Chains A and B, each alone.
Chain A
Amino acid sequence: MNLRKSLPSFLVCSLFLLSFSANAELSIQITQGSDNPIPIAVVPFSWQGNGVLSEDISQIVMNDLEQVGEFSPLSRSNMLSMPSEEQEVFYSDWRILAQDYLLVGKIDRTPGSQLVQVQYEFFDINREIKLAGEVLTGSVTQLRDIAHEISNVVFEQVTGTRGAFTSEILYVVAEYMNPERTNFRLEKADYDGQRAQILLESVEPIMSPSWSPTGRDVAYVSFETELPRIYIQNIATGDRRQITNYPNLNSSPEWSPDGTKLAMVLSKDGSPDIYVQDLTTNQLIRVTDHPLIDTEPSWTADSKSIIFMSERTGQPQIYQIELGASSFNVERLTYDCFQCLNAKFLPDGVNLVHVRRETRQDPNYQIAVLNIETLRVITLTNTSLDESPSIAPNGSMIMYATKFNGRGVLDAVSIDGAVRFRLPSTQGDVREPAWSPFLN
């Protein structure tokens, strides 16, 4: 049975408003795949219209599935047949090729409009059943979105986990022009680095992008007044407002999961401490109070507690505090590292992703996960300048910033460490990835 569905119209609007694209397009490289990937055949979708389509939907789906590592897509040249709908599918063709799953589809012009409709069907070869199928309608410029939607369905059907292929990333690019000038850009792109758009450009630093939980707004720090101040910008319209102007440091904005508050770091009272600003009433609440550095706030999923880094015991460690609790009522979460920084919980609320420097003698900063119940630590990276971990909305992967050949790049690693991919930049240093929430 086919389900009819069209992509939300706001997508069309945002594509129109932000149609200028960044000149530093990122392209993905898989640096380590899974040991035991699931074989899947993604047949090229047939196209009934005139001319050539700008995007190859089945290729995008293949790339999506390969990047997250659980899948090994079959090469097109090895296919024995190229079905585009259920009647043309012979399970034996795919069983001979040892495939577990099959995706087929076809693309047509919608009669009497500029839209296209994409029909796809997804099969389990071993059980000889159709698992999913629908018709997605959109403009030609939305073919990528449609492809990522299909990847989401395939991923969820096979793994049981919601796919994150329609999610996006924010990041900062610093491009060195000359000794007096570095250009900073806040950019947004698809999770795979495609369709990069510039949200803000400045000759002063831009830092710490944070998504609102709806995915409509971004909070960040800009030095455009020659002082670090926090701004909120609507992604679709570009409308922005400065929301802090406190003396000294204003940094590290982090939206609460319920969208009502912004955690931040202010040093107006002497040293950097964690504060929370209510976005409706603008009321500011002080959360921590310590003469040494407290910074890098992140929220627990219930929006009731904040995780942060403090050097109150001499070196950076991770702590947790409940909003409204006394500033003395702080729980320490990390012990067995020389420095543990920039922590945030995975969606399970038990595994704590963080930046870790193991010992004083070893000045390497790596991404690790601490299970706060078993206290087991898994270090996920083996480079030395890894920072700014950001978690995919389905909790399957972590994107972080590192250095490659002296340049800032974004890498991603699955939470079990098995799969890695890289988004290299063609220009400038790329840093501070922020993975979006689910956007639909």
Chain B
Amino acid sequence: MTKQSIQTIKMGLMAISLFALVACSSTSDTEESAMDGEASSSSGSSNNGSARTNPGSTSGQLTQEEIRAQNALRQTVFYFDFDIAEFKPADRETLSFHARDLAANSSKRIRLEGHGDERGTREYNLALGERRANSVLNYLIVNGASRSQIEVVSYGEEQPAQAGQSDNAYSRNRRVEVISR
């Protein structure tokens, strides 16, 4: 059995336990999404907490769960550690919401774009970007998304989010972006 499939099973187990966790928990996730929101460029910074700025619901009040889902879906950029192809454990819950959103909307299509920082060779970073995007892909599938809803592409180090050789630029460039199609 390959390392990858062992990993997939591990993720599946994690996902199952996460469902249980999410069903019980009500408060602990806001802090986490705020942290992630700070780093993500496109998802903006006004995404955590306030139900009053989201008058989209026809039935009036949003449940806590719906608010959390909305916030999670606004986070579309996920950051990675240097030389690491697996997404950060802190992003699991947010990605679970993305997966459930795809499962609930079978016509929805997304593209996962994997990126790396400029250290290491271009071809290696291209391959690493694909592994990063695949790490997100596998998690989304295990959590209910369909493979046919998701396209994966790696840009390697060719499209940095931030130019320059600083650690800050590097950490912003090691990412997977979820693009709605």
A residues lining the B interface (CB < 8 Å): 174, 176, 182, 205, 207-208, 223, 226-228, 248-249, 251-252, 265, 267, 270-272, 291-293, 295-296, 309, 316, 339, 341-342, 355, 357, 363, 365, 385, 387-388, 403, 406, 431-432
Question: In the complex, which residues of chain B have a beta carbon less than 8 angstroms from the beta carbon of A267?
Answer: 127, 130
**Are A295 and B164 in touch, CB under 8 angstroms?**
no
Contact for A207 among B119, B122, B131, CB less than 8 A? B122
Interface residues on B, range: 20 to 34
**Are A387 and B159 in touch, CB under 8 angstroms?**
no
**Are A251 and B121 in touch, CB under 8 angstroms?**
no
B2 near A: Cβ within 8 Å?
A: yes
Contact for A291 among B3, B124, B155, B163, CB less than 8 A? B3
Q: How far is the CA of A355 from the CA of B130 in the complex (A)?
A: 21
Given contacts A205-B158, A223-B155, A403-B165, are A432 and B124 in contact (CB under 8 A)? Answer: no
**Are B4 and A176 in touch, CB under 8 angstroms?**
no
Mask of B150-165 contacts with A, CB within 8 angstroms, 1/0:
0011111011000111
Question: In the complex, which residues of chain A have a beta carbon less than 8 angstroms from the beta carbon of B159?
Answer: 182, 205
17 contacts between A and B (CB under 8 A): A182-B159, A207-B122, A207-B126, A207-B158, A223-B155, A228-B154, A251-B126, A252-B123, A272-B127, A291-B2, A291-B3, A292-B3, A295-B126, A296-B123, A309-B124, A355-B121, A387-B122
Given contacts A248-B152, A267-B130, A406-B164, are A316 and B124 in contact (CB under 8 A)? Answer: yes
Given contacts A342-B121, A387-B121, are A205 and B127 in contact (CB under 8 A)? Answer: no
Chain B's closest residue to A270 (CB) is B4
Q: How far is the CA of A385 from the CA of B119 in the complex (A)?
A: 7
**Nearest CB of A to B21, in Å:** 30
**Nearest CB of B to A32, in Å:** 23
Question: In the complex, which residues of chain B have a beta carbon less than 8 angstroms from the beta carbon of A208?
Answer: 122-123
**Nearest CB of A to B129, in Å:** 9
A contacts with B: majority SS: strand
Q: How far is the CA of A388 from the CA of B127 in the complex (A)?
A: 16
**Are A227 and B153 in touch, CB under 8 angstroms?**
yes
How many contacts between A and B, using CB within 8 angstroms? 86
Residue of B118, B126, B163 contacting most chain A CB atoms (<10 Å): B126
Q: How far is the CA of A174 from the CA of B156 in the complex (A)?
A: 14
Q: How far is the CA of A207 from the CA of B158 in the complex (A)?
A: 9
B60 near A: Cβ within 8 Å?
A: no
**Are A226 and B122 in touch, CB under 8 angstroms?**
no
Beyond the given pairs A272-B127, A339-B120, A406-B164, 20 more chain A to chain B contacts, judged by CB atoms under 8 angstroms and listed by A's residue number, are A205-B155, A207-B126, A208-B123, A251-B127, A252-B123, A265-B127, A272-B130, A291-B2, A293-B127, A293-B128, A293-B131, A295-B124, A316-B120, A341-B120, A341-B121, A363-B119, A365-B119, A385-B119, A388-B121, A406-B165
Contact for B127 among A176, A295, A403, CB less than 8 A? A295
**Are A388 and B122 in touch, CB under 8 angstroms?**
yes
Question: In the complex, which residues of chain A have a beta carbon less than 8 angstroms from the beta carbon of B158?
Answer: 174, 205, 207, 223
The 6 closest A-B pairs by CB, nearest first: A205-B158, A293-B127, A272-B127, A291-B2, A341-B121, A342-B121
Given contacts A228-B154, A342-B121, are A291 and B165 in contact (CB under 8 A)? Answer: no
Q: How far is the CA of A227 from the CA of B154 in the complex (A)?
A: 8
Q: How far is the CA of A283 from the CA of B165 in the complex (A)?
A: 42
Q: How far is the CA of A291 from the CA of B153 in the complex (A)?
A: 18
Question: In the complex, which residues of chain B have a beta carbon less than 8 angstroms from the beta carbon of A387?
Answer: 120-122
Question: In the complex, which residues of chain A have a beta carbon less than 8 angstroms from the beta carbon of B154?
Answer: 228, 249
**Are A293 and B119 in touch, CB under 8 angstroms?**
no
Question: In residues 62-118 of chain B, which contact A (Cβ within 8 Å)?
Answer: 82, 118
Q: How far is the CA of A223 from the CA of B131 in the complex (A)?
A: 18
Question: In the complex, which residues of chain A have a beta carbon less than 8 angstroms from the beta carbon of B165?
Answer: 385, 403, 406
Chain B's closest residue to A247 (CB) is B152
